[in-house]
Amino acid sequence: MRRRRAGLAVIAGLTLMFSLLPGLSASGAPNLSLAAGQVSTIPDWRLQTSRTATQTGDVISGPGFNDSSWLPVPARSTVLAGLIANNRYPDVNFSENLKQVNKNDFSVPWWYRKGFTAEQPAGTHTFLKLKGGVISRGEVWLNGTKVAGTDTVIGAYPTREYDVTSLIRNGDNAIAIKAMPSDPSKDLLIHFVDWTQLPPDRNQGLFRDVQFANSGAVSLRDLRVSTDLPLPNLNTADLSVKVNVRNDSSAAVSTQVTGTIDNVGFTQSVSLAAKETKTVTFNPANTPGLRLTNPRVWWPFTMGDQPMYNAELSATVGGVVSDTASTKFGVREITSSRVNGGGRQFVVNGKPFLVRGGGWASDLFLRTNVRYIEDQMNLVRAMNLNTVRLEGKPENDEFYDIADRLGIMVLTGWECCSAWENYGSFNAEKNRVAGESAESEAKRIRNHPSLLGFLIASDLATPAAQEKIYLDAFARADWNLPIIASASNKSSPQLGNSGMKMDGPYWWEPPVYWYNKQQGGAAGFASEIGPGPTIPEMDELKKFLTTADINKLTNYTASQYHLSPTGTFGKFSFWGTALDSRYGKPATVDEFVRKAQLANYETNRAQFEAFADNFSDSSNPSTGVIYWMLNDPWPKLFWHLYDYNLATAGSYFGAKTALRPLHVQYSYDDKSLSVVNTGLQDSSGLSVQVTLFNADGTQKANETRAVNSRANATVKAGNLPQPSGLSTTYFARLLLKNSAGTVIDRNVYWLSTKADTLNYDDSDWYFTPQSAYADLKGLNSLPAGTVDASATSTAEGENTKTTVTITGTGSKVAFFLRASLRKGSGGPEVLPVNWSDNYVTLWPGETLTLTATYRTTDLGGAAPVVELSGHNITKRSLPAS
Cβ distance 866 to 820 under 8 Å? Answer: yes
Handedness of CA 830, 835, 839, 845 (dihedral sign): negative
Question: Which stretches within 615-736 are classed as H helix?
Answer: 650-658
Cβ distance 110 to 44 under 8 Å? Answer: no
Q: Quick one: 68 exposed, middle or buried, by C-beta within 10 A (0-12, 13-18, 19+)?
A: exposed
Q: Rounded to an integer, what distance in angstroms lies between the CA atom of residue 108 and that of residue 757? A: 54
263 C-beta neighbours (distance < 10 Å), count = 6
In sequence order, the β-bridge partners of residue 175 are: 114, 142
499 C-beta neighbours (distance < 10 Å), count = 27
Q: Indicate the pairing of strand 253-261 with strand 496-497.
A: unpaired
CB neighbour list of residue 777: distance below 8 Å, 6 or more residues apart = 582, 583, 584, 728, 729
Q: Rounded to an integer, what distance in angstroms lies between the CA atom of residue 423 and that of residue 123? A: 47
In sequence order, the β-bridge partners of residue 814 are: 842
555 C-beta neighbours (distance < 10 Å), count = 12
Catalytic residue of the set 439, 503, 528, 537? 528
Please give the C-alpha separations between residue 7 and each of 243, 597, 740, in angstroms, as whole numbers.
19, 53, 57
Please give the C-alpha separations between residue 54 and each of 58, 67, 125, 492, in angstroms, as whole numbers.
12, 13, 33, 48
**Does the annotation mark 374 as catalytic?**
no
Element (DSSP H or E) covering residue 749: strand 743-752
Specify the DSSP class assigned to residue 142.
E
Q: Rounded to an integer, what distance in angstroms lies between the CA atom of residue 290 and that of residue 265? A: 9
Q: Rounded to an integer, what distance in angstroms lies between the CA atom of residue 116 and that of residue 108? A: 27
SS3 assignment, position 409: strand
Cβ distance 749 to 758 under 8 Å? Answer: no
Element (DSSP H or E) covering residue 323: strand 320-329
Q: Rounded to an integer, what distance in angstroms lies between the CA atom of residue 688 and that of residue 747? A: 11
Q: Quick one: 227 exposed, middle or buried, by C-beta within 10 A (0-12, 13-18, 19+)?
A: buried
Specify the DSSP class assigned to residue 536.
P
Cβ distance 413 to 392 under 8 Å? Answer: yes
**Does the annotation mark 459 as catalytic?**
yes
Please give the C-alpha separations between residue 767 and each of 56, 598, 676, in angstroms, as whole numbers.
53, 20, 28
Q: Which of 719, 742, 731, 663 is nearest to 691 (CA)?
A: 731
Q: Rounded to an integer, what distance in angstroms lies between the CA atom of residue 435 and that of residue 428? A: 11
Q: Indicate the pairing of strand 500-501 with strand 524-529.
A: parallel
Per the rule left: phi > 0, alpha: psi between -120 and 50, beta: everything else, 374 is: alpha
Phi, psi of 590 (to 5 degrees): -65, -40
SS3 assignment, position 455: strand
Q: Which of 392, 377, 447, 815 is nearest to 602 (CA)?
A: 815
Q: Indicate the pairing of strand 847-855 with strand 864-869.
A: unpaired
Catalytic residue list: 459, 528
